[in-house]
Amino acid sequence: MTAPAPSPAPHAVSRLRAERLARSAKPFLARGGPKGERCAGCRLVPSHCLCALRPTLPTRAGMCLLMADIEPLKPSNTGWLIADVVADTYAFGWARTEVHPDLLALLADPQWQPYVVFPGEFVEPARVVTQVATAEGKRPLFVLLDATWPEARKMFRKSPYLNHLPVLSLAPEQLSRYHLRRSNRTDHFCTSEVGALCLELAGELHAAQTLEAYLDVFTHHYLQAKHQLPVDDSDAVHQRLRDLRGAG
């Protein structure tokens, strides 16, 4: 079993979670662990802590997570994993009536070429792209709507500040392997899977594979904790993550 590690420095999603908790009228109680105790660094029960396995990578691409209200609080949220792995990850809470000024500043920053990641079937064709091609000197910034599918559709429709941005439509061949929260549609992916697909399109294959492997390890730890079973850190998913971390 992986020994608990010191909690890593807070990243964008963990800071957003702290801000959301501070605004709560009543405490958010996640199930599991003695009296609901969870590691602040990975949100798992301490006996199944993942912090020692966190692989943070420098990437040319950046990630901007636009998160539905409750998402930062969910232990099963996988946007957190993106922030663990991709150093340049930003996270903002979404609200219909207001937008954080730092989000607007990020989308207007000349170093970035933002792409809103959303299915092209729901978007006018003129906005849809399927490849990542940035102008010289610009870095791709993937804007991910981190929410349930109904929430994500609402967020896309009611965020006019995104209307001028190209929409990256993903059409991957593989089906979702995420086993914690499942959409009824097999072509819907968890946020971490979407992030990995975006990294691959941006030419960052090692980062994409590392994020995929990290999701597999997180899923194993999460489900083993849920069923009160020990972690098997000698299995194939842990070995794959170790190999990728060593190749970084």
Tell me what the mean pLDDT of segment 206-220 comes to.
96
Tally Cβ neighbours within 10 Å of residue 92. Answer: 19
**Total-model pTM:** 0.89
- Choose between 2 and 146: higher pLDDT: 146
- Res 117 pLDDT > 90: yes
Q: Cβ contacts of residue 236 below 8 Å, gap of 6+?
A: none
Predicted local distance difference test score (pLDDT) of residue 9? 77
Instruction: List the single range of 38-42, 84-88, 220-224, 238-242 with lowest mean pLDDT.
Output: 38-42
Sheet holding 62-67, edge to edge: 89-93, 62-67, 139-146, 112-117, 167-168, 128-129
Predicted local distance difference test score (pLDDT) of residue 243? 95
Average pLDDT, the chain: 88
Put residue 38 in one of left, alpha, beta given phi > 0 → left and psi -120 to 50 → alpha: beta
Which H, E and C letters describe 168-195, residue by residue?
ECCCCCCCCCCCCCCCCCCCCCCHHHHH
